[in-house]
Structure 1
Amino acid sequence: MNQETYHYQGCGKTGKTLAQPQPLLSTARPETYIPEPGLCDAVKVALALGQPLLVTGEPGTGKTQLASSIAYEFQLPAPIVFHTKTSSTAGDLLYHYDALKRFNDAQIEKIIKPVSHYISLRGLGIAILLSTKYSDQDKELLPASYQQYRHSRSVVLIDEIDKAPRDFPNDILNEVEKLEFSIHEIPKTITAETDKTPIIILTSNSEKYLPDAFLRRCVFYHINFPDETRLKTIIEQRFNQSKIHPNFSVQEMDAAIKHFESIRLLHLKKKPATAELLAWMSMLKAMDIDIITPNMDIQKTYGVLAKNADDFKRMVKFLKEACPKLSR
């Protein structure tokens, strides 16, 4: 049997065995997350005040991973993630009532079940109930993965709140501030225990307007793109201190960062961020491409950095200008 390979040639059946993908850097691994000092200070302030922390910054700078890092450091359950959508409402952040299933059960299956059977908590609703000494009956409102926790603090990630409708931030003010909500269909009101209140992290990719009333109730922090020193630290932590991933020499790290930063200076529609840098460096090793002495083979990996055709063309043009002899 031929040696396993990643190389697709478009030449028909070869008999080669396709290798499993090499594990790229898991940016979700909380033990390798490296927050900047200012972000650590912002977390301290938010925890001390008991307020949500709103984190902004360009995509790929580690906003989302912060929640996992906090949960990991304080040995809390995995973060409860609410992925904000353009159609999200305040109710979506708390629970879902499956009225259609209840109707089908009653009208078609002739099954009569308690209304609570059709209610499932979400996002902040899960975290608020987890903070209480809830009953066995209320336990059924929780997803199975969280039913092992009771009277526990937890981390809630409200991701990309900038995607939500304009009224969404104001609509969740009461629930975020009082940590209390009502399930009208039962009816029932659930209030967080004061000694086990959830830790709320909100992220935003843009400078989209957020209401002043909402911002007053949050601690704010903006994550800047890492400078060269922090990039080296991140690469060292993610690659050279891992048994899974390939090591990089100091020269390779310097060359990769210099090349990457030059690309970010181009007039791109979407600049690659830290996550793309780590994936790109993984591919350089996987494809055995020399970054210290640049050559046109590097363009084979630009699909990791570019997210549209125009940016890809700009990167290739930059490479040709950087390697004029090799591009002929």
Structure 2
Amino acid sequence: MNPDYPFNLIRPDTDGPLPDPAVLSRRPGVTTDRSLAAEAPFFIPGEALVTAMNAAIAVAEPLLITGEPGTGKTQAAYYAAHRLGTRVFHFQVKSETTAGELLYHFDTVRYFHDAHLSNIRADRTPLDKSKYVEPRALWQAFDDGREQGRPAVLLIDEIDKAPRDFPNDLLHELDQMEFLVVETGERIRPERTLAPILFITSNSERRLPEPFLRRCVYHHIAFDPEVVRKAMAVRAGQFDPLGPELTELAIRAFLAIRRRSLRKRPATGELLLWLRVLALAMGVERSRLEQALKDQDLTRMPYLGALLKDHKDLEETLGGGVQGG
């Protein structure tokens, strides 16, 4: 946290623009490294997740992780890489992703452009197609394992977002850890001992194909209040203005909100965001925040827009009046 940062930059009771625009560059959210790699040392996995990780690594099979958004599915791969001392190759799946994009990209446009120029110059030398091939995540993980002398971690993130055929299209490549570059005829494979450690995440938006599931070790990250408390404890320094007592009261309020009938329950990710907001706001309105947390009155809890991401959930929790702050 930056104790010199003014939390109330936007002031409806004043005229004119911000007197010191440079203060925007000191926002804690942009001056603190909150990347997945930076957060890896602070991740607290449950015992069952650690067991699943070790099992998948031992048998060299993919680890498929499901769970509520915000429970740490993606972070688990970065935590494993941190503990193993290796790199992560993060492949983010999107609605239009194809299986081939995990392997390599052949620059067809540039190839045909150069072939056209070659014909114009009457140059009969065949183009080297390998110069138009760009390795992607799986291939990069193969190369990194060879260069570093240890397997990399390959994360296929949110696989359930992909088109239906995406998982089945990768069955051979992920099972055999090799693939063919069609344009050059080159077969790409690592040494078996250096094949990447594979993590796959899913939000369970749709069921994955049975043949794909058979090849995975599976783990569901269930919400565990004790794991949440441990995760907050290792990050205690990030919430210094709150202190241990108020942090515990905020966690209790968060757990009480989770017990309500909500359309979208907040998870650990939302709790971290809420605590960061509360810690910053302590410098502006400490007495109000302290009293609200001590009373444990959910209808008066501040800044619930960091916890609840559904209009109806906010309305019902706050007792009618929707207040994001």
TM-score tier (shorter): 0.7 to 0.9
Instruction: Give me the whole-angstrom Cα distance separating, in 1, the residues matched to 2:298 and 2:211.
Output: 53
Normalised by the size of structure 2, how large is the TM-score? 0.82
Instruction: Give me the whole-angstrom Cα distance separating, in 2, the residues matched to 1:295 and 1:156.
Output: 44
Structure-2 residue corresponding to 1:265: 259
Q: Deviation of residue 261 (structure 1)?
A: 1.6
Structure 2 unaligned spans of 5+: 283-288
Secondary structure of the structure 1 residue equivalent to 2:222: coil
Letter in 2 for 1:32: F
Listed one character per residue, the Cα deviations across residues 157-210 of structure 1 (whole Å, up to 9, x for unaligned) are 000011111111111010111000111112210112112111000001116211
Q: Deviation of residue 25 (structure 1)?
A: 8.5
Q: Deviation of residue 129 (structure 1)?
A: 3.2
1:1-328 equivalence runs, <5 A? 5-7=6-8, 8-10=10-12, 11-13=14-16, 15-17=18-20, 18-19=23-24, 20-23=26-29, 26=34, 28=36, 29-77=39-87, 79-107=88-116, 114-132=128-146, 149-206=147-204, 208-227=206-225, 229-240=226-237, 245-246=239-240, 248-288=242-282, 289-290=289-290, 291-293=293-295, 300-317=302-319
Instruction: Give me the whole-angstrom Cα distance separating, in 2, the residues matched to 1:14 and 1:296.
Output: 35
Q: Deviation of residue 300 (structure 1)?
A: 4.9
Instruction: Give me the whole-angstrom Cα distance separating, in 2, the residues matched to 1:311 and 1:103.
Output: 55
Instruction: Give me the whole-angstrom Cα distance separating, in 2, the residues matched to 1:191 and 1:4.
Output: 52
Letter in 2 for 1:26: R
Instruction: Give me the whole-angstrom Cα distance separating, in 1, the residues matched to 2:145 and 2:34.
Output: 30
Instruction: Give me the whole-angstrom Cα distance separating, in 2, the residues matched to 1:294 and 1:13.
Output: 38
Contact 1:302 1:315 survives alignment (8 Å): no
Structure 1 unaligned spans of 5+: 133-148, 321-328
Listed one character per residue, the Cα deviations across residues 15-46 of structure 1 (whole Å, up to 9, x for unaligned) are 53335222479372111111000111111111
Letter in 1 for 2:144: L
Instruction: Give me the whole-angstrom Cα distance separating, in 2, the residues matched to 1:260 and 1:296.
Output: 9
Letter in 2 for 1:175: E
Instruction: Give me the whole-angstrom Cα distance separating, in 2, the residues matched to 1:311 and 1:167.
Output: 36
Normalised by the size of structure 1, how large is the TM-score? 0.81
Describe the shift of the 1:108–1:16 C-alpha distance in structure 2 as closer, same or farther (beyond 3 A): farther
Instruction: Give me the whole-angstrom Cα distance separating, in 2, the residues matched to 1:41 and 1:199.
Output: 15
| Aligned CA-pair RMSD | 2.8
Instruction: Give me the whole-angstrom Cα distance separating, in 2, the residues matched to 1:4 and 1:26.
Output: 18
Describe the shift of the 1:247–1:220 C-alpha distance in structure 2 as closer, same or farther (beyond 3 A): farther
Q: Deviation of residue 318 (structure 1)?
A: 7.7
Identity of aligned residues (%): 34
Instruction: Give me the whole-angstrom Cα distance separating, in 1, the residues matched to 2:308 and 2:209.
Output: 34
Instruction: Give me the whole-angstrom Cα distance separating, in 2, the residues matched to 1:303 and 1:117.
Output: 50
Secondary structure of the structure 2 residue equivalent to 1:287: helix
Contact 1:266 1:314 survives alignment (8 Å): no
Contact 1:55 1:63 survives alignment (8 Å): yes
Larger deviation, residues 149-158 vs 60-69: 149-158
Instruction: Give me the whole-angstrom Cα distance separating, in 2, the residues matched to 1:245 and 1:25.
Output: 15
Secondary structure of the structure 2 residue equivalent to 1:292: helix
Q: Deviation of residue 4 (structure 1)?
A: 5.4
